[in-house]
Chains A and B, each alone.
Chain A
């Protein structure tokens, strides 16, 4: 056991840091630091900059263009990325459908899709949840019926993040209604330009419009866009969801947020002639979150290490999802508290690209409320935290 980085790892850290400081598009970082959410163009350019460096396929095997990083390198990269305020990698292509295709797709599909996913030439979104199928995903009803060389897809997918930008959607569809629910599900790729697809935005409680409902009405999908075998979609998706859970911990980003919070509270007055940082109550609650995060950082590293010595992340990854999201939520809550009365003004125009509007109150305060409200989604999506606890109870504790 050794907590120190090797010289080689330190050199890698410097390389990554230098890249973000010099070669990465600085305008994207400036907007991120001003609290402005990334545009589609920002996200694409960001990922293409990583791709140019060979750093796009973070979890991918080297044969498909992956980085082949050790857990330490992965850890270093995540931390440097958060430190520089680089927008998070949009997970649907690089983190989700890419691994599914290289794991379960045929050679043609790998050749056709993987290079564009790695280079972020195409935008992917995820079609899993349905209005009637949330936690009980296996009850999904969007059906795909074989018709010659095509499937005909009918149904509705919902909570589809950033579908408004997407070129492709990967979907779980029901191909066989007569077997056990899990065994009648298939994994299929659908082009978003296909006739019969409509995308309707869903406004969220923070005022955001990043999620959507996607409707399919008699959408023809070439049968060669089915991944793997018919009826095996559930198995593939389960593997994917386990992967998703490791990424979901967001340790490096939470660390960065706590750093920012400390910087803010070091000057923010507590109303008694001292700063919030000197306020025992506030400081204690900030410390409680930081301690949870220190523990989670090592739980995350232990999981990564186990994966690197063989074996996929197991049901233990549910711990990362639960704790990671609880911490993300707790941090956003502290920002709201730090803002005091200035958590109240709702000034979304502040976050529009090119906005020169002066802030009402302290700079950080405008995004505090919306971020807190928005982050409530994290204990719901990717398998709600209640479902994660069921998984641990069953698969880890054997109950």
Chain B
């Protein structure tokens, strides 16, 4: 057991910290969030130059063979800066699917662009009626000559507006909620029959609802095995949960720090409000929530790197903890800041909104509580 980071990892953290300090002042972020694209192409190029976009990919694929801990470090620091660039959507989520299941030809076609910074990806897996159930898929892919025809609707596709290439989950056989029969497809975002509705998200990100109508793809578009897409999807999303868990820990840490600072300087009744015991205890509770979340984050990350038996269960535990802690820390940070916490002019509300969305993303507390219980091997 070892909780220390390597020298390379400390350097990685330093480089992300420096990026956030230089490029994510409140005003710069605010302007980016309101811009058309919602993130900066220049920042993305910088990510590529710094090697962050190559990190989790294998050396064979032109990557750096990074560990789960490396991704955790990046995401934690990006979380502190409320960074808007679509690292999660492109590198972790869709990139994770490709790392797990893509053919050599697909890797060669897509990954150099991702690593070089020229290609944006999006994973289209959400269906409204399915809620958090990844197996609830009504989008169909019907065999058509040598290829397939995709029809259906995907919701809240993160990074949908910027993506050049989509990965889409569709049913090639079976009933609506069957685990078998789901296939993943690599689809050009500009393919005929695709209609996008783009929108900003509550936390300043960008997403789309995407309609697939008679979209033709070749047999080579299948990622992994026909009918076996669910497992790839689950594992990739589990990895993404650890990533947003790290982002949430970063956001909570920054939020807690800001709250303690504010309470130390805001004077009411002749003293800094941080002198009031009721607020001291509140901030201690926030601190404990941050620490507990960080512990499960480390636990999940280390389990992933060691391919431990309880990986999925630990990841659900992390998601529950981060959901609960994020809600508490977010709400109380606003409360302790009083009226100021309600304004758009402070980062407090923006962290709170991001933490709220993180709870929704990839399954909320209830969903992961149930999954955690169901995965109990002793039960």
Q: List residues of A whose CB falls within 8 A of some B CB.
A: 129, 132-136, 139, 158-159, 202-205, 207, 211, 269-273, 279, 281-282, 336-337, 339-347, 360-362, 369-370, 372-373, 376-377, 379-381, 384-386, 389
Contacts and interface: CB of A to CB of B under 8 A. Distances in A.
Contact of A345 (B131, B177, B207): B207
Nearest to B348: A205
B201 A271 contact: no
A369 B359 CA distance: 12
Given A136-B268, A136-B269, A380 B364 contact: no
Contacts of B341: 205, 376, 380
B199 interface: yes
B132 A205 contact: no
B156 A134 contact: no
Contact of A380 (B136, B203, B342, B352): B342
Given A340-B131, A344-B360, A373-B353, A205 B342 contact: yes
A350 to B, nearest CB: 10
B331 A376 contact: yes
Interface string B351-363: 0110011001100
A139 B126 CA distance: 52
11 contacts: A203-B343, A205-B343, A207-B344, A269-B131, A337-B366, A341-B360, A344-B201, A361-B155, A373-B356, A376-B331, A376-B352
B278 A341 contact: no
B335 interface: yes
A269 B129 contact: yes
B128 A342 contact: yes
A361 B210 CA distance: 12
Nearest to A134: B338
Given A205-B350, A341-B155, A344-B357, A271 B342 contact: no
A70 B128 CA distance: 47
A281 B369 contact: yes
Given A205-B334, A362-B128, 18 more contacts: A129-B339, A139-B268, A202-B344, A211-B342, A270-B131, A273-B177, A340-B132, A341-B126, A341-B128, A342-B128, A344-B202, A344-B207, A344-B360, A345-B207, A345-B209, A377-B339, A377-B342, A386-B278
A271 B129 contact: yes
Majority SS at the chain A contact face? mixed
Nearest to A284: B366
Contacts of A336: 356, 360
Contacts of A385: 335
Interface string B195-232: 00101111101010100000000000000000000000
Contacts of A340: 128, 131-132, 360, 364
B275 interface: no
B182 to A, nearest CB: 14
Interface string B117-133: 00000000010111111
B345 interface: yes
A263 B363 CA distance: 23
A279 B364 CA distance: 14
